[in-house]
Structure 1
Amino acid sequence: MSGQDQAGGLVGPAADVLARLVRTALDEDLGGDPGTDVTTTATVPADARTVVEVRLREPGTVAGQVVWVPLLADAARRLGQETPVVELLAADGSHGAAGDVLARLSGPTRTLLVAERTGLNLVGRACGVATATRAWVDVLAGTGVEVLDTRKTTPGLRAWEKYAVRCGGGTNKRVGLFDVAMVKDNHAAAAGSVVAAYRAVRSTSPDVAVEVEVESTEVALAVVRAGGRFLMCDNMTPDDLARTVAAVRALVAELDGPGGRVLLEATGGLTLARAPEVAATGVDFVSVGALTHSSPQLDVGLDWTG
């Protein structure tokens, strides 16, 4: 997911990831590569040129602007036309009001029409995720607690949606199954216990961060005694969560000394209304699957100006 630095210091999806996303989306719309737009080909002269503006129809957090350049370049290649000029007027991560112009695009009309729906789909999706994430970041402001995303993403759009989470001020937890280990209830059942599962993962993948899902204070303490220092507290009440946080931090201080560090995450059934109460328990993170699996699309349109 690393890539060149974008406006606002955000790092967008790597160029190859973005190129693959654009290529797949255009193939889907055009029926292959180069494919065809039967309506545009029939009604728009090849030499026609247009200026259009990408505009927010409702307020929200801007995200996905990084798509316009590679998208229009790929569309132009397929049509054998010059690549339209892209003027970005709002940075990813910024707040936009209804009616704000995000970008101005100018060039061959056929290319702009071919790319229009793909671009609006991707930008609208990204803005929706970023806007939902920003709501969590705002409600947690001043608590020191970060909001994390999860793997509950749209297949094929994970890199895009995780970038949108960052645009909204959130933090990416892990990319997939390969970069961070997460011991959950099914792994514990297969291994015989949570502690056995943790030890098995730590033994086979010593250089990978390991997070362990726990559902009680007792299990959390057992994992800490086994060496675990990254715990996900699942579906605990605020009172149980507070007791678990206090007990775990006390045990880590006893085992590792005053400088001992453990990372604690709350997850399961979280809502914006409950977020301040959960943050007050002393956790470091809250993880919210709804950022990516339930965020509504933000309404973004494309208006012709000439």
Structure 2
Amino acid sequence: MPFTPALEQQLRAWLNEDIGRGDLSAPALAGRRGAAQWIARQAGVFCGGVLAAPLFALLDPAVEVRLLVADGELLRPDQRVLELWGEASALVAAERTALNLAMRLSGIATATAALVAQLEGTGVALADTRKTTPGLRVLEKYAVRCGGGLNHRLGLDDAAMLKENHLSWSGGVAPALAAVRAQAPWPARVIVEAETEAEALAAVRAGADGVLLDGFSPGQLVELVPRLRELAAGAPVVLEASGVDPQELRACAASGVDLISTSAPVTRAPWLDLSMRFSLPLA
């Protein structure tokens, strides 16, 4: 994941939120250097290590960080994740922000990996959604990728998705799609979210690049997907299932859809428990 100026600005804001006017405990550590380790308290998929060095460096550029586990790798309980050396006051001040981010992202990566494992061997990909925490979208989507998932559009400017309100207010699938096609850049894809069989069929007839089949049961998908493929007559339309019960992923995959999108890893995942343990001061 590239470390961009925008991401650096966010990290600064999150540090400032916690430190405020200054860490009142800092005088107890004045002039001391220390070592610390991150320890995994439970099994899972690690994510957030790429943020550690730049985040601690914002408080002390001399802080050294050594990653022992790469983002996307499995963790076991009591495993050492990374090691740090530097000014003790900087290690303490950045500890909570760094751990909070890593625990949140590792929880998402772990939850994603569990769902991806259910789809193993089906050829169907798992994708995320735009249901993300404001300010954390890029990082949460990065965590999904670390867990083996795919990223859906990052924002409204990535691709057009015509949802129920678009279809209702514009008079239907064909008028909505035509209006978007008339003004969108030629590489932009247009996806239609279909809640009914009629909407799905209309989307394929109108030439949508993708059809998001929302809330269909596995049985309904098994019947509908072949009909949509036949109607598309070889056109490369992407068929996506959404609103799927996590327990029915494989049943939905058996219908022949290309991918399944879900917000569950981001909206429902518990944090993965990590802790930071300090060694005796080095000086």
Give the TM interval when normalised to the shorter protein: over 0.9
Q: 149, 153, 163: which one pairs with 1:184?
A: 163
- Alignment correspondent of 1:267: 242
Question: Given the alignment of the two structures, is residue 249 of structure 1 paired with residue 229 of structure 2, yes or no?
Answer: yes
C-alpha distance in 2, partners of 1:187/1:220? Answer: 15
- Give the SS at the match of 1:75: coil
Question: Given the alignment of the two structures, is residue 98 of structure 1 paired with residue 77 of structure 2, yes or no?
Answer: yes
1:168-183 correspondence to structure 2 within 5 Å: 168-183=147-162
| Equivalent residues of 2:211, 2:240 under 8 A apart | yes
- Alignment correspondent of 1:44: 29
Q: How many percent identity over aligned positions?
A: 41
- Alignment correspondent of 1:159: 138
- Alignment correspondent of 1:194: 173
When normalised by structure 1's length, the TM-score is: 0.88
Q: 203, 228, 244: which one pairs with 1:223?
A: 203
C-alpha distance in 2, partners of 1:159/1:24? Answer: 16
- Give the SS at the match of 1:38: coil
How far apart are residue 221 of structure 1 and its match? 1.7
One-letter amino acid of the structure 2 residue matched with residue 74 of structure 1:
L
C-alpha distance in 1, partners of 2:27/2:32? Answer: 13
Q: 119, 127, 130: which one pairs with 1:148?
A: 127
Query: Quick check: 239-248 or 159-168, which moved more?
Result: 239-248
- Alignment correspondent of 1:4: none
One-letter amino acid of the structure 1 residue matched with residue 12 of structure 2:
R
How far apart are residue 239 of structure 1 and its match? 1.8
Give structure 2 stretches of 5+ with no counterpart.
Answer: none
Query: Quick check: 166-175 or 215-224, which moved more?
Result: 215-224
Instruction: Tell me the matched-pair count.
Output: 279
| Equivalent residues of 2:189, 2:209 under 8 A apart | no
| Equivalent residues of 1:195, 1:222 under 8 A apart | yes
When normalised by structure 2's length, the TM-score is: 0.95
| Equivalent residues of 1:17, 1:159 under 8 A apart | no
| Equivalent residues of 1:185, 1:194 under 8 A apart | no
- Give the SS at the match of 1:105: strand
- Alignment correspondent of 1:235: 215
1:8-157 correspondence to structure 2 within 5 Å: 12-31=1-20, 35-39=21-25, 41-45=26-30, 47-76=31-60, 82-157=61-136
C-alpha distance in 2, partners of 1:150/1:285? Answer: 12
Of structures 1 and 2, the one with the larger relative CO (CA 8 A, separation 6+) is 2
C-alpha distance in 2, partners of 1:195/1:206? Answer: 18
- Give the SS at the match of 1:261: coil
C-alpha distance in 2, partners of 1:300/1:181? Answer: 39
How far apart are residue 13 of structure 1 and its match? 4.4
